[in-house]
Amino acid sequence: MITPLPPLNSRILIVEDTPANIQTLAAILKEKGYQISIATNGKQALEVLARIQPDLILLDVMMPEMDGFETCRHLKASEQWRQIPVIFLTAKTETADIVRGFELGAVDYLAKPFNAHELLARVNTHLTMDELRRSLAGKNAELARAHELVRRAFGRYVSEEVATSILKSPEGLDLGGEEREVTILMSDLRGFTALAARLTPHEVIEFLNVYLEAMVDVISRYGGTIDEIIGDGILVIFGAPLACDDHAPKAVACALAMQLAMTDVNQRLKAKGTAELEMGIGINTGRVIVGNIGSLRRTKYAAVGTNVNLAGRIESFTTGGQLLISENTREAIKVPLRIDGQFQVEPKGATRSLHLYEIGGIGGPFNLALPSRSEILCSLPQSLPIGFTVLEEKFLGRTVQTGRLVAVSGSEGGIETEVSLAPLSNLKIEVTAVEGVNPGGELYAKVIGATAAQPGQVRIRFTSIAPELKVWIRQTATRLGSTQP
């Protein structure tokens, strides 16, 4: 290893009251290219330091007015001068005096009379060490800035606690995973695709940023780790990478807080002239593989397994503003839950039916609750003919069925049809325009179930409605509602 040389033209302050010693020291050091400043006592040395910043100080111990020990004490008490290396010049070679000098902060001592080779060797060594110290301090500052940048970037996807924990661990970014029980949350906006088709790309990004800013903030508060953001969909892990026993209730509380935050999101979007939207959330608890997947060039922290896929299936059954959880999640939660509904579903690819619970609130320590979603359906004076198809996953069915729209509220409707419709199935409905009565248009809806008050009537919840038809439905529901006894 090559030892780096001290910087050229280093400045050395000589503090010495004997002219012959000053002359000798200055001659030896100038010959090697060092710049020299001189003070003849401690007080004068402090005055010189107020004007210049030397790289090293040669400090005589025995001086009038203020000796070397007192001068060194003043130097080390100053933030500005504390790091300057000090070498004592002394005829006092008793161990106690040498120790005292080191205790005051000196880096070395040089006994009188001076040996030129020893003097240069010690000066060169300490200037080199100080240059290395400054270089290391600079590198540490750069590293700290880089670390903070990474932490802030990472902190956009996980909580502050998770980001800090992983960055502190040397193995935090190693590829590989482990099996662990976690809770998975999947959220998705209703009607986003139809909305995006009516907006410019810039407006879509602006819309998403408003929505995601609010959602990511909520997820961070509840300790969730964002696995993936795909457009308007968010996949979140609770219980990894930091293990915790309360991952299920945290996930449910987070979901409720996300739904409550949609009120503010919609207010901000409305101010920008964008239509209001709703979000559905599905939650499942189970064992998955969690860890870093990818390659050495690109890695992401993720959860993999059938329980992750099941969370996505559960979310697909939700309507806007709704939170559905699996039976596994319900069993993992010991705090009180407000269960607003229960559903038995047959998800595609699953080996058995699923029992799902609609959650409207959670007790302490979270104490969160959603407003009631119950609405009164108002019968239309004239039923409207409709054609509809049942959606399979994201694809339309091939058969167009017929029926009639017979009742509406602000966000729900009642239809009559001879076709048997499974609860939580998705429909694409084409409403026929009736001259002088209603505009025609397309809407998407999810089957909620049978209408108790009207046998043979199926209740649906709207997920996306063509703008003109949406205005008509809301105005009609308001007008009919005001005439109800």
pLDDT value at position 1?
42
Q: How confident is the model at residue 422 (pLDDT cuts 50, 70, 90)?
A: confident
> Average model confidence (pLDDT) for the chain?
85
257-277: pLDDT as tens digits: 999 999 999 898 888 777 778
Using CB atoms within 10 A of its CB, is residue 262 exposed (0-12), middle (13-18) or buried (19+)?
buried
80-89: pLDDT as tens digits: 898 999 999 8
CA distance 413 to 461: 6
Is residue 448 within 8 Å of residue 415, measured between CB atoms? no
Lowest mean pLDDT among 84-93, 172-181, 432-441: 172-181
Cα 242 from chain centroid (whole Å): 14
Lowest mean pLDDT among 62-71, 128-137, 230-239, 474-483: 474-483
CA distance 472 to 433: 11
pLDDT value at position 259?
96
333-369: pLDDT as tens digits: 999 999 998 888 876 666 678 899 999 999 989 999 9
224 or 292, greater pLDDT:
224
Q: Which amino acid is at 470?
A: K
Query: Is 410 in a helix, a strand, or coil?
Result: coil
52-78: pLDDT as tens digits: 999 999 999 888 888 889 999 999 998
CA distance 478 to 375: 12
Is residue 316 within 8 Å of residue 271, measured between CB atoms? no
Name the CA radius of gyration of the chain, rounded.
38
Q: Which residue has the tokens 């003070």?
A: 39
Q: Which residue has the tokens 């407000």?
A: 338
Cα 461 from chain centroid (whole Å): 33
3-class SS letters over the chain: CCCCCCCCCCEEEEECCCHHHHHHHHHHHHHCCCEEEEECCHHHHHHHHCCCCCCEEEEECCCCCCCHHHHHHHHHHCCCCCCCCEEEEECCCCHHHHHHHHHHCCCEEEECCCCHHHHHHHHHHHHHHHHHHHHHHHHHHHHHHHHHHHHHHHCCCCCHHHHHHHHHCCCCCCEEEEEEEEEEEEEEEECHHHHHHCCCHHHHHHHHHHHHHHHHHHHHHCCCEEEEEECCEEEEEECCCCCCCCHHHHHHHHHHHHHHHHHHHHHHHHHCCCCCCEEEEEEEEEEEEEEEEECCCCEEEEEECHHHHHHHHHHHCCCCCCEEEEHHHHHHCCCCEEEEEEEEECCCCCCCCEEEEEEEEECCCCCEECCCCCCCCEEEEEEEEEEEEEEECCEECCCCEEEEEEEECCCEEEEECCCCCCCCCEEEEEECCECCCECCEEEEEEEEEECCCCCCEEEEEEEEECHHHHHHHHHHHHHHHHHCC
Is residue 256 within 8 Å of residue 368, measured between CB atoms? yes
253 or 444, greater pLDDT:
253
227-249: pLDDT as tens digits: 888 888 999 999 988 888 999 99
pLDDT value at position 281?
96
211-221: pLDDT as tens digits: 999 999 999 89
Interstrand relation of 35-39 and 11-15 (parallel, antiparallel or unpaired): parallel
* Angle subtended by helix axes 68-77 and 95-104, to nearest 10: 20
Is residue 7 within 8 Å of residue 123, measured between CB atoms? no
pLDDT value at position 456?
74
The residues near 270 (Cβ < 8 Å, ≥ 6 apart) are: 276
* pLDDT over threshold 60, residue 452: no
Domains of the chain: 11-137 (3.40.50.2300), 172-369 (3.30.70.1230), 378-483 (2.40.10.220)
pLDDT value at position 482?
57
pLDDT value at position 2?
45
302-323: pLDDT as tens digits: 788 899 999 998 998 888 899 9
pLDDT value at position 485?
39
2-39: pLDDT as tens digits: 444 555 578 999 999 999 999 999 999 998 889 999 99
CA distance 9 to 133: 18
* pLDDT over threshold 50, residue 484: no
pLDDT value at position 167?
65
Q: Rounded mean pLDDT of 109-135? A: 88
Query: Is 415 in a helix, a strand, or coil?
Result: strand
Is residue 330 within 8 Å of residue 337, measured between CB atoms? yes
97 or 47, greater pLDDT:
47
* pLDDT over threshold 60, residue 449: yes
Distances (CA, A) of 16 to 20, 25, 61, 378: 10, 10, 8, 101
